[in-house]
Amino acid sequence: MAFLLFCFIFFPVVAQPQPTSFIFNGFNTSESKLTLDGASTISRPSGALKLTNKSSYTIGHAFYSEPIQILMDNSSSSSSFSTTFVLVIVPSSSGRGGHGLAFTLSPSKQFPGAAAKHYMGIFSPENDGSPSNYIFAVEFDTVNGYNNAVDSDGNHVGININGMYSNVSRPAYYFIDNTDRTEDMVLESGDPIQAWIEYDGKFVNVTICPLNVSKPSKPLISYAVDLTPFVQETMYVGFSASTGEKSSSHFILGWSFSTNGTAPPLDVSELPMAPSKEKVGSSPDRRVIGLIAALSTVTVLLLGILFYFTLYKRNIWFENLEDWELDCPHRFRYKDLYTATKGFNQSEIIGVGGFATVYKGVLPTTGTEVAVKKITQTQTQTQSSIKGVREFVAEIESLGRLRHKNLVYLQGWCKQKNDLLLIYDYIPNGSLHSLLFHHKQSFVLSWEQRFNIIKGIAAGLVYLHEEWELVVVHRDVKSSNVLIDADMNVRLGDFGLARLYDHGTDWHTTNVVGTIGYIAPELARNGKASTSSDVFAYGVLLLEIVSGRKPVDSRSFFLVDWVIECHQMGRVLDAIDPKLDSGYVVEEVKLVLLLGLLCCHPKPGIRPSMRKIVRYLNGDEHLPSIDNWESFDSRDGIYSMFLGTISSRSITKSYPTSSSIGGILDPRFRLISTH
Ligand SMILES: *[C@@H]1O[C@H](CO)[C@@H](O)[C@H](O)[C@H]1NC(C)=O
Ligand SMILES: *[C@@H]1O[C@H](CO)[C@@H](O)[C@H](O)[C@H]1NC(C)=O
Ligand SMILES: *[C@@H]1O[C@H](CO)[C@@H](O)[C@H](O)[C@H]1NC(C)=O
Ligand SMILES: *[C@@H]1O[C@H](CO)[C@@H](O)[C@H](O)[C@H]1NC(C)=O
Ligand SMILES: *[C@@H]1O[C@H](CO)[C@@H](O)[C@H](O)[C@H]1NC(C)=O
Ligand SMILES: *[C@@H]1O[C@H](CO)[C@@H](O)[C@H](O)[C@H]1NC(C)=O
Ligand SMILES: *[C@@H]1O[C@H](CO)[C@@H](O)[C@H](O)[C@H]1NC(C)=O
């Protein structure tokens, strides 16, 4: 009787596809459930799954041994899966690591011919992109270069279907508590990172965050896709990792997976410890260790003596901190910055302008790349009261809390004698200015890229003007402050800091700050920066991006006047950058040019708000027609008119011509020196 009942209850269940669910809190006892190949092993005693060691050009795979029913039968609503895992990437000690690891759904556990490097050990140059692969992968990649010849810092997460071209990819970051604020992450930091990949039949969502942060409610990637055509009915699920010339150890500390609702949560307390950065890798011969240790001791002693005589004497280790400086969370130690920039070495300079020099550096504490802006005050400025500096620092402390994916994050500051140092995220591709004007002849920003850049800057400015707790006026919107990251995303830099350039004179009066060519007429007259003077500068920037011409080229060319002229002759499209050839969308170009002109309207009241601008750019609202063009005085040109005012007034005062380093790169100095 009991047997019959048993059959009756269980028979129909067996006929249905079985959902799968498993969890590995560490891999101590899971070797039998996984198929490992290549460099993959389970590290003992920790129990972490190690996909690759630090050897170059290695591949490691680890797949769940059993095939998994991914497409459910036709009657069930839709197929879905959910997985979460904790990954750790430890770069090889010699320089930056590579390449990355990928969570993979594949019809087979074998990948014959699969290549290392960018191919992640799942694709080969022969089958890359082929629809017969039926491979779905989420890559955690630390090196760029699949699409461009040169490897560069990657640090991104992407979704790949059947090939190494990512259908969607994002730099690594996560959203902070359901806001638009983001926190960047370094995949190869060596710290554990938890990732979630969820597919509900409509979206693939990918979320990452550090292990000690709870799961962000907004995913990093939410990609609308129906995977049905791209997968087979049963698939193997697991991980693949590879290294190239650059290499890292790739670890998975824990993993759960389910085709039956949400993947079971990992028990963080049971996970293996994160492999420490030193312990990982080959363990050399004891004699070699001994020799190295002895040599190191001698070297350290010698260096110590050397340092004592050079640095200590020059008073570098001692930062004379004042009380108020002690409780500023964003204060960096000068020592660290000094090490990071190899002692502010000439070779590390990545930019010079105004009173500041920008160095690239690698922080010794975390190994992250930063840009360090060193602002040297002149003798007269040093006389400014300590109160001014303190106020300024308070301002930076609050700017340090600004987080948006289109802003360069100001990590902190440091004061050392006459120098003020600001520490920013390092953005690899350089500035929009250099991409537009100084870049290799062969490289032309496409219209699509330009339009994305235009939208990205707008998103950053909306955040500054309207979305943050305080209104932040940027004050120096210009192409050289628009940085472009490796994925061609926009990061707006230097916000709110332009007033820094005129400190020393008087902290309370705002002299005109900004850059000639971007300064709104009313700002030149009354010196009051406002959100609408930012909008003006943004307008000039729009014209600059479309036309590929600088706002002011010489004393007689003024971009805004020129575009107005083109518009009045009914030939506004004449203003398009000839380098674009015919590769643009006429409606979008027209929209941007007219919007640029509207933003440059001499009457601040007529300029739209940044939020309105975003609506225009997205096509949510139509651009109003500007009827009173008469107020743009075409005979003299609005620029030619107020430029005289500026150069005879405060600019010369706030930007001394003595600053010769600024004169080379910064257009405003060129104007002044001809004055
Ligand atoms: C790394 O893995 C490869 C492939 O299994 C192996 O040949 C090599 O010896 C390993 N290297 C180290 C340093 O463990
Ligand atoms: C789903 O339906 C199609 C046709 O409607 C049929 O060919 C296929 O075998 C069905 N698949 C399953 C798993 O039942
Ligand atoms: C993903 O990108 C590849 C390569 O461009 C393309 O063939 C494929 O159709 C894309 N898949 C989806 C779902 O968009
Ligand atoms: C993915 O994110 C979108 C929002 O971006 C949400 O609507 C959807 O329910 C999410 N899907 C899953 C499987 O988490
Ligand atoms: C998480 O850990 C990192 C370092 O391991 C630490 O800097 C950070 O403050 C921690 N975050 C939280 C929210 O505990
Ligand atoms: C699927 O999930 C449901 C509810 O969470 C549970 O009752 C059921 O036993 C699960 N099925 C399998 C096969 O794990
Ligand atoms: C794995 O086993 C080792 C001993 O073999 C033990 O020290 C370690 O704590 C175990 N790890 C976990 C996560 O249980």
Nearest of 208, 196, 204 to residue 83 by alpha carbon: 196
Of the chain, the percentage scoring pLDDT greater than 90 comes to 30
State the pLDDT at residue 541: 96
Q: Which domains does the chain have, with CATH numbers?
A: 11-270 (2.60.120.200), 323-425 (3.30.200.20), 432-659 (1.10.510.10)
Average pLDDT over residues 594-606: 92
* CB neighbour list of residue 236: distance below 8 Å, 6 or more residues apart: 63, 64, 67, 68, 105, 106, 107, 108, 109
User: Which atom of ligand 7 lies at the shortest distance from residue 272's CA?
Assistant: 13
State residue 199's pLDDT score.
Answer: 93
169-185, pLDDT tens digit by residue?
888 999 988 788 888 88
What's the confidence (pLDDT) of residue 399?
A: 74
The chain-wide mean pLDDT, for the chain, equals 78
Instruction: Using pLDDT thresholds of 50, 70 and 90, give the confidence band for residue 196.
Output: very high
Between residues 400 and 612, the one the model is more confident about: 612
Q: What is the mean pLDDT of residues 415-426?
A: 81
Q: How confident is the model at residue 138 (pLDDT cuts 50, 70, 90)?
A: very high
Which residues, including other chains, have CB under 8 Å from residue 57's CB and lie 6 or more apart? 116, 117, 242, 243, 244, 245
Q: Is the pLDDT of residue 400 over 60?
A: yes
What is the per-residue pLDDT for 504?
A: 36
pLDDT at 654: 32
Could you tell me what percent of the chain has a pLDDT over 70? 74
- Within 10 angstroms of residue 244's Cβ, the number of other Cβ atoms is 21
Q: Which residues line ligand 4 (CB under 6 A)?
A: 198, 200, 203, 205, 219, 222
Distance 50 CA to ligand 7 centre (A): 15
pLDDT of residue 536: 95
User: Is the C-beta atom of 261 inside 6 A of ligand 6?
Assistant: yes
Q: In 264-300, which positions are buried (b, 16+ CB within 10 angstroms) versus exposed (e)?
A: eebeeeebbebbebeebbeeeeeeeeeeeeeeeeeee
441 lines ligand 2 (CB under 6 A): no
The rounded Cα 213 to chain-centroid distance in angstroms is 20
> pLDDT at residue 494 above 70?
yes
At residue 127, the pLDDT reads 86
Q: What pLDDT score does 93 carry?
A: 63
Asked if residue 17 has pLDDT above 70, the reply is: no
Closest ligand 5 atom to the C-alpha of 213?
Answer: 13
Q: Whole-angstrom Cα distance, residue 444 to residue 132?
A: 35
Q: Whose CA is nearest to atom 12 of ligand 6?
A: 19
pLDDT band at 282 (very low <50, low <70, confident <90, very high): very low
| CA distance linking residue 545 with residue 450, whole number of Å | 7
Residue nearest to atom 13 of ligand 2 (CA): 73
Lowest mean pLDDT among 61-75, 302-316, 553-567, 655-669: 655-669
DSSP 229: G
- pLDDT classification of 508: cutoffs 50, 70, 90: very low
Torsion, Cα of 490, 495, 497, 502 (10° steps):
90
Residue with the bigger pLDDT between 487 and 290: it is: 487
Residue 316 predicted with pLDDT over 80: no
More confident call, 476 vs 459: 459
Span of 164-168, 241-245, 362-366, 467-471 with lowest mean pLDDT: 467-471
The average pLDDT across 664-669 equals: 26
- Closest ligand 2 atom to residue 71 Cα is 13
* Choice among 89-93, 542-546, 626-630 with the minimum mean pLDDT: 626-630
CB-ligand 5 contact for 210 (6 Å cutoff): yes
For residue 201, the model assigns a pLDDT of 85
Instruction: Please report how the helices 559-568 and 638-648 are oriented relative to each other, as an axis angle in degrees rounded to 10.
Output: 160
* 495-520 mean pLDDT: 56
pLDDT band at 569 (very low <50, low <70, confident <90, very high): confident
> What is the C-alpha separation between 275 and 262, in angstroms, rounded?
28
Model confidence over 423-461: pLDDT tens digits?
888 888 788 988 888 766 667 889 999 999 999 999 999
Pocket of ligand 7 (CB under 6 A): 26, 28, 45, 47, 270, 272
Structure-model confidence comparison of residues 323 and 58, the more confident one: 58
Tell me: pLDDT of 570 over 80: yes
3-state secondary structure 622-662: CCCCCCCHHHCCCCCCHHHHHHHHHHHCHHHHHCCCCCHHH
With bands split at pLDDT 50, 70 and 90, how would you rate the model's confidence at 629? Answer: low
What pTM was estimated for this model as a whole? 0.50
* Nearest-angstrom CA–CA distance, 396 and 412: 7
* DSSP per-residue string spanning 420-462: EEEEEE--TT-BHHIIIIIS-TT----HHHHHHHHHHHHHHHH
Choose between 220 and 274: higher pLDDT.
220
Q: What is the reported pLDDT for 543?
A: 95
Q: According to the annotation, is 478 in a ligand binding site?
A: no
Contact indicator for 144, 267 with CB cutoff of 8 Å? no
Query: In what helix (H) or strand (E) does residue 525 lie, and over which residues does it extend?
Result: helix 521-526
Show which residues are catalytic: 476
pLDDT (average), residues 225-229: 87
Atom in ligand 4 nearest the alpha carbon of residue 198: 13
16 lines ligand 6 (CB under 6 A): no
Ligand 5 centroid, distance to 359 Cα (angstroms): 27
Q: Which of 135-149, 151-165, 226-240, 301-315 has the highest mean pLDDT?
A: 226-240
Q: Which residues of 98-137 are buried (b: 16+ CB within 10 A; e: fewer)?
A: bbbbbbbbbbebebeebbbbbbbbbbbeebbeeeebbbbb
Q: Is the CB of 316 under 6 A from ligand 3?
A: no
In whole angstroms, give the CA distance from residue 154 to residue 171. 8
- Nearest ligand to the CA atom of 190: 5
420's tokens: 């003020």
Question: pLDDT category, 556, cuts 50, 70, 90?
Answer: confident
* Residue 30 pLDDT: 84
Ligand nearest to the CA of 267: 7
Nearest to 521 by CA among 360, 418, 636, 613: 636
Residue 300's alpha-carbon distances to 31, 296, 442, in angstroms, are 44, 6, 48
Q: Which residue has its alpha carbon closest to ligand 5 atom 10?
A: 212
| Residues 631-663 pLDDT 10s | 554 444 555 544 444 433 333 333 322 222 222
382 or 132, greater pLDDT: 132
Q: Number of helices and strands (H, E) in the chain?
A: 17, 27
